[in-house]
Chains A and B, each alone.
Chain A
Amino acid sequence: MLLDAQTLARLRGVKLRARAVMEGVLSGLHKSPHQGQSVEFAEHKEYAPGDELRHLDWKAYGKFDKYYVKRFEHETNLRAVMVVDASASMGYRSGALSKLEVATTLAGALCYLLVRQQDAAGLALMAGGKWRDVPPRASAGHLNVLLDTLESTEPKGATDLASAADHLVEVLPRRSTVIVLSDLLDENQEALKRILTLRQRKNDVTVFHLVDPAELTFPFDDPTLFLDMEGEGRIEVNPREIKESYLEEFNAFLASTKAACAEADVDYELVRTDEKLDDVLLRYLARRGRRG
């Protein structure tokens, strides 16, 4: 069952919406959600107070007379962090759902999927210049924390992708899956490149570029006073007079963003807020599947 934006909008709360999307995705995949998992030894580490005693390698103690702790690597499970841009511009809506609502719904649905297959899902929310992190975990109880966090998010402040990149470098271990959900409307032209550098750190980066249909088509007719959602700027224009030029500018922005992502080997998904979100996720997952 693919859910359109209007239907989703009638579902109150991220939990319901995310679940609905997730179920839609699952019915589209036709695969068992129970994936096998295995734990593979990765390395030894000298014991330090606070390490779990159950991971002490007694055989190594017998050989070397030193306490070593075994460290394991989940072979199939992954650590995914949803980086959600909750800046003020994400609150824009011309239809049923705002960009932020779409972003949180997508993030929630992905969290469902990840936790369901025993993968760890975490969250990094940026709103009003402050970070709110939920470290990735795979437990079912963690899912509620994630969804509650997403639910309580309000759009505010300016988009700052550069600081987001810096923050993620600090908190993310290598080889994480980073899913960025943002409208990428950052005044700093270099900010996107900073985000893309996460890929160089062996992270698997995906950018969900959220765009409102009104931003894509500029459907305004009457003279309008456009107000900046993240600042004090305002401009009075006759939209019909500048429509052509605006569309050129915006399409160029989309094209350059897509090209930059491709160049950095980053997955790029353009998401219209009036699209069916399970469709978006299926498209995304299918592409992921093709990449292996």
Chain B
Amino acid sequence: MTFGNPWMLLGALGALIPLLVHLFDRRRPRPHPFGPLAFVLRSQKRTASRLKLKRLLLYTLRTLILLAIPIALARPELKQDAATAQVVKGPAATAIVLDASLSMRWSDGTSLFERGRDEARDALKDLLPEEPATVLVCTESPAAPPPPGFDRGRLRGIVDEARPTFGAADLSRCMDMAARALEENPMPAKRLVVVSDMAAAGFRLEAPPPTVKGPTGAPVKPEVVLRDAAEGREVLANHAIVDLKVEPALQAGPRSFQFTFTVRNFGAEAVKDLEAAVRVGESTLAKGFVDVPVGGTTQKALTVRFPQGGTVVGQVTLAPDSLPEDDRRAFVLPVPRALKALVVNGSPHATRYRDEAFFVDAALTAPGSPVEVSTRDAEVGLREDFSAYDLVLLLNVAAPSADEAKKLADFVENGGGLFISMGDRVNTEEYNARLGAVLPRPLRLVRTSAEREDPDAETKTARLAKVSVEHVLFSPFTGRAEEGLIGARFYKYMLLEADNPGSPGASQVLATYEDGAPAVAVMRKGKGRVALLTSTVDRDWSDFAIRTSFLPLMQRFAAYLTGSLEEREEIRVRVGESATLRPEGTQKVTAVRAPDGAEVQVKEQPDGSLVAGPVTEPGAYSVLGADGKVVPALSFAATLDPAESDLSRVPQETLTAYFGEETVKASSGDADKPAVPLWTWLILAACLAFFFEGTLLRK
């Protein structure tokens, strides 16, 4: 039942008036001495029961009048029941396609999927005994339906056991599959019953409508019955997080990250003061509010500073609406831990900006950097206990002694990070001799591309020509950020040997100059990593130190060399897809667990990577190592397909035109049912009640 003027229903409160008058009427009757009281008493006794009945009738009639008038003014209309609206033709083999996509989880107390399931049960109930039927639950990867049969119990079981998924469903494909199943039945008439919320994302209207083979073998359109689980609603209001970016917020301090939500409003009304929050476990780390216009998107940035490093699993959330699944998005975030770096200054200078370590020191201790820097000159620095540091930077150091070199090699072997930059003081022979084990490639000689005094230096200086932006070290330097790297001019740089003779193929050149000479080479050694910059980190050999890219690159060097900058691509996976995991070295993966604790299927690939999935629900997935503990570096979050958040419905006329006007009929959805106005009957009832009330009063 629907109401044209629902606010008029407030008037129905007037029906309480007779009751209130009865309860609260405290009029004092007028006392009157009267002789023939006995007659009054006898009359009252005689009429008591009749009066009681009369009063009850009067009360009922008055209540009816006061109730009927406001309800009638609210203009109620009765929609006919779905079953009665359905036009039944002759018997037909029937396939029921039940939409189980994410959008069917939309709920206003009762989810669309529950309604859809009821519709599917009704569709089964409405079948004639001689009509064979089958059921297809339309998910992202639907299973072929069984051939049409008469086992109604089995079909009802399929409907009962069906659950809504978190993925998108291609109803066009499902209808095709159902049509193929119908072709297996010899009955000439075919019918497709589609139970769905009719969300536009489910249909591919550009594809031809489903057909079945006709008696002559030519394709014919089956009868299509549309059962609308949304019951004719024009709009299914929804807002969703359609994107999330998490970036370091260096300005806010170390281990600070900016979470940028993109929120979209798919409803017909603007959303105001929508709560957005970043949560880890039960605690809310940041909270804000967003306004989203109708059909628009809004970005909201929240900054969170994590107290300590490590992998953080959390979620960003919006205030839940009728489809709460898309109002949250999980994240797995590696938060860098605090690092201790030893800067060994090979060329100290009294003037700070001429000091070899000046720019490095400034870069590593910039606001937001997790690095704690200790700067020593070469003599003192190389005698330090390296095990107290995560990272050692040798800046234009002549050459360590043999013992110091061994200490450095052990440090790297045990997981330390070593950064080496060149300069005039570097002794190539001694480096190659003593540090050969940890150098990515042996040093050859210094090449001068241009003298500073040379007027043509601008054109002669070397620039970076090839940067491996796919590598985690350089991954941020894409687009405009790349210009900061390419714009740097290098007057001198150290040429390297072609490969490391000690461990061939172990080193990797991540950036080269225009002449192809390596600019940055990296290598893994034992548990540690080594990076070699073939120029200086001050302004002696290049102006790189004063370029905008210097600071972030040095910080990434520090993070990379200490292993806190994971050398893996962010695993982006959507529900319905599979995640590719690349364990490091000898790392073993024993299991991948879904957010609900269920184990996800994992397949090993020939290249050593693992494919987990397809994942079926959104949230954080844990990857367990050989020791049964979570490997944070491999954990990942699965997100929903934003297209499923768009619950825009395909208009009935469009669907009718698509499926063919002769074959389609809507058996549910109020919009297409003839409405029976009730208000005239209510007015008639009120008039009759008024007449009877008057008659009773006169009696």
**A and B: bona fide binding partners:** yes
Residue of A nearest to B697 (CB): A240
| Interface majority SS (helix, strand, loop, mixed), chain A | mixed
Q: For residue B54, which residues in chain A have a CB less than 8 angstroms away from its CB? A: 241
| A245 near B47: Cβ-Cβ < 8 Å | yes
Complex interface: chain B residues within 8 A of A236 (CB): 29
Q: Given the interface contacts A235-B41, A242-B43, does A224 sit within 8 Å of B36 by beta carbon?
A: no
**A223 pairs with B38, CB closer than 8 A:** no
Q: Is the CB of A185 within 8 A of B36?
A: yes
Is A61 engaged at the interface, CB distance under 8 Å to the other chain? no
A225 pairs with B36, CB closer than 8 A: no
Is B40 a contact partner of A226 (Cβ separation < 8 A)? Answer: yes
- The answer to whether B37 has its CB under 8 Å from any CB of chain A is yes
- Beta-carbon contacts of B19-56 to A below 8 Å, as 1s and 0s? 00000000101111111111111111011000100100
- With A89-B35, A215-B35: A242-B29 Cβ-Cβ less than 8 Å: no
- Residue among B36, B40, B54 facing the most chain A CB atoms (10 A cut-off): B36
B44 touches A235 (CB 8 A): yes
Contact of A245 among B27, B36, B43 (CB under 8 A): B43
Q: A212-B35, A229-B34, A249-B42 are in contact. Are A223 and B29 (CB under 8 A)?
A: yes
For residue A214, which residue of chain B has the nearest CB? B34
In the bound complex, do residue B47 and residue A242 qualify as a contact, i.e. CB atoms below 8 Å apart?
A: yes
Partner among B29, B30, B35, B43 whose Cβ is within 8 Å of the Cβ of A246: B43
A246–B34 touching, CB < 8 Å: no
Known: A241-B47, A241-B51. A225 touches B41 (CB 8 A): no
- Check if B35 sits within 8 Å of A250, measured CB to CB: no
A278 within 8 A of B: no
| A92, B33: Cα distance in complex, Å | 8
Task: List chain A residues, Cβ under 8 A from B30.
Answer: 222-225
Chain A: minimal CB distance from B31 (Å): 4
Q: Which of A90, A228, A253 contacts B37 (CB 8 A)?
A: A228
Distance, CA A288 to CA B634, complexed state (A): 131
User: With contacts A237-B44, A245-B46 known, is A226 near B39, CB below 8 A?
Assistant: no
Contact call A250/B31, Cβ cutoff below 8 A = no
Q: Bound complex: CA of A236 vs CA of B34, how far in Å?
A: 12
User: B36 contacts A215, CB within 8 Å?
Assistant: yes
Name the B residues within 8 Å of A246 (CB-CB). Answer: 39-40, 43
Minimum CB–CB distance for B26 against chain A, Å? 12
Q: In the assembled complex, which residues on chain A have CB atoms less than 8 Å from the CB atom of B44?
A: 235, 237, 242, 245
Known: A224-B29, A224-B30. A92 touches B35 (CB 8 A): yes
CB proximity of A273 to chain B, nearest CB, Å: 11
With contacts A224-B29, A225-B29, A225-B30 taken as known, whether A250 is within 8 angstroms of B47 at the C-beta atoms is: no
Q: How many chain A residues touch B (Cβ–Cβ < 8 Å)?
A: 32
A226 touches B43 (CB 8 A): no
Instruction: Judge if A220 is at the interface, Cβ distance under 8 Å.
Output: yes
B: number of interface residues (CB 8 Å): 21
Q: Are B27 and A223 in contact (CB under 8 A)?
A: yes
* Closest B residue, CB atoms, query A241: B51
Question: Which chain A residue has the least Cβ–Cβ distance from B25?
Answer: A223
CB nearest neighbor in A for B54: A241
CB neighbours (8 Å) of B27 from chain A are 223
Q: Which residue of A lies closest to B40 (CB)?
A: A226
For B42, the chain A residues whose CB sits under 8 A away are 245, 249
Interface residue A101 (Cβ < 8 Å from any Cβ of B): no
**With A233-B41, A246-B39 given, is the CB distance from A226 to B34 under 8 Å?**
yes
Are A187's CB and B38's CB within 8 A? yes
Report which residue of B29, B47, B51 has the largest number of chain A beta carbons within 10 angstroms of its beta carbon.
B29
CB nearest to A220 among chain B residues: B32
Within the assembled complex, what's the spacing in Å between the Cα atoms of A223 and B44?
13
> CB of A183 within 8 A of chain B?
yes
CA distance A234 to B46 in the complex (A): 17
Task: Check if B34 sits within 8 Å of A227, measured CB to CB.
Answer: yes
**Chain A's nearest CB lies how many Å from the CB of B587?**
95
**Chain A residues with CB under 8 A of B29:** 222-225, 236
A237 B35 Cβ-Cβ under 8 A: no
**CB-defined contacts of A187 to chain B, threshold 8 Å:** 38
Within 8 A of B (CB), among A229-284: 229-230, 233-237, 241-242, 245-246, 248-250, 253
B34's closest neighbor in chain A, by CB? Answer: A226
Residues in B166-194 with C-beta less than 8 Å from chain A: none
CA distance A284 to B27 in the complex (A): 47
Are A229 and B33 in contact (CB-based, < 8 A)? Answer: yes
How many Å lie between the Cα of A254 and that of B35 in the bound state? 15
CB B336 to nearest CB in A, in angstroms, measures 88
A246 and B27 alpha carbons, distance in the complex (Å): 24
Whole-angstrom CA separation of A241 from B698 in the bound complex: 10
In the bound assembly, the distance between CA atoms of A134 and B28 in angstroms comes to 46
Residues of chain A contacted by B47 (CB below 8 angstroms): 241-242, 245
Q: How far is the CA of A245 from the CA of B35 in the complex (A)?
A: 17
Which of A90, A224, A229, A253 is B39 in contact with, Cβ under 8 Å?
A: A253
Q: Is the beta-carbon distance between A249 and B39 smaller than 8 angstroms?
A: yes
Q: Are B35 and A185 in contact (CB under 8 A)?
A: yes
A236 to B44, CA, bound (A): 9
> What separation, in Å, do the CA atoms of A215 and B33 have in the docked complex?
12
Interface residues of A in 182-207 (CB under 8 A from B): 183, 185, 187
Whether B38 lies near A227 (C-beta < 8 A) is no
Question: Smallest CB–CB gap between B95 and chain A, Å?
Answer: 70
Cβ–Cβ < 8 Å partners of A183 in chain B? 35
Determine the chain A residues whose CB is within 8 A of the CB of B38 once the complex forms: 185, 187
Q: Would A237 and B40 count as touching, CB distance under 8 A? A: yes
Chain B residue contacts of A242, Cβ below 8 A: 40, 43-44, 47, 51
Interface flags for A15-29 (1: CB within 8 Å of B; 0: not) read 000000000000000
CB-defined contacts of B46 to chain A, threshold 8 Å: 245, 249
User: Using Cβ atoms and an 8 Å threshold, which residues of chain B touch A250?
Assistant: 36, 39
CA distance A246 to B44 in the complex (A): 8
Q: Specify which chain B residues have a CB less than 8 angstroms from the CB of A249 in the assembled complex.
A: 39, 42-43, 46
7 nearest A-B pairs in the assembled complex, by CB-CB distance: A89-B35, A245-B43, A223-B29, A246-B43, A242-B43, A225-B29, A225-B31
Given contacts A185-B38, A227-B31, A250-B39, 14 further A-B contacts (CB under 8 A): A89-B36, A212-B35, A220-B32, A224-B29, A226-B32, A226-B33, A227-B32, A228-B37, A229-B33, A233-B37, A233-B41, A241-B47, A249-B42, A253-B39
* A-B contacts, 27 listed (Cβ < 8 Å): A89-B36, A92-B33, A215-B34, A215-B35, A222-B29, A223-B30, A224-B30, A225-B32, A226-B33, A226-B37, A227-B31, A227-B34, A227-B37, A233-B37, A235-B44, A241-B51, A242-B44, A242-B51, A245-B42, A245-B46, A245-B47, A246-B40, A246-B43, A248-B43, A249-B43, A249-B46, A250-B39
Question: Could you tell me which A residues sit within 8 Å of B by CB distance?
Answer: 89-90, 92, 99, 183, 185, 187, 212, 215, 220, 222-230, 233-237, 241-242, 245-246, 248-250, 253
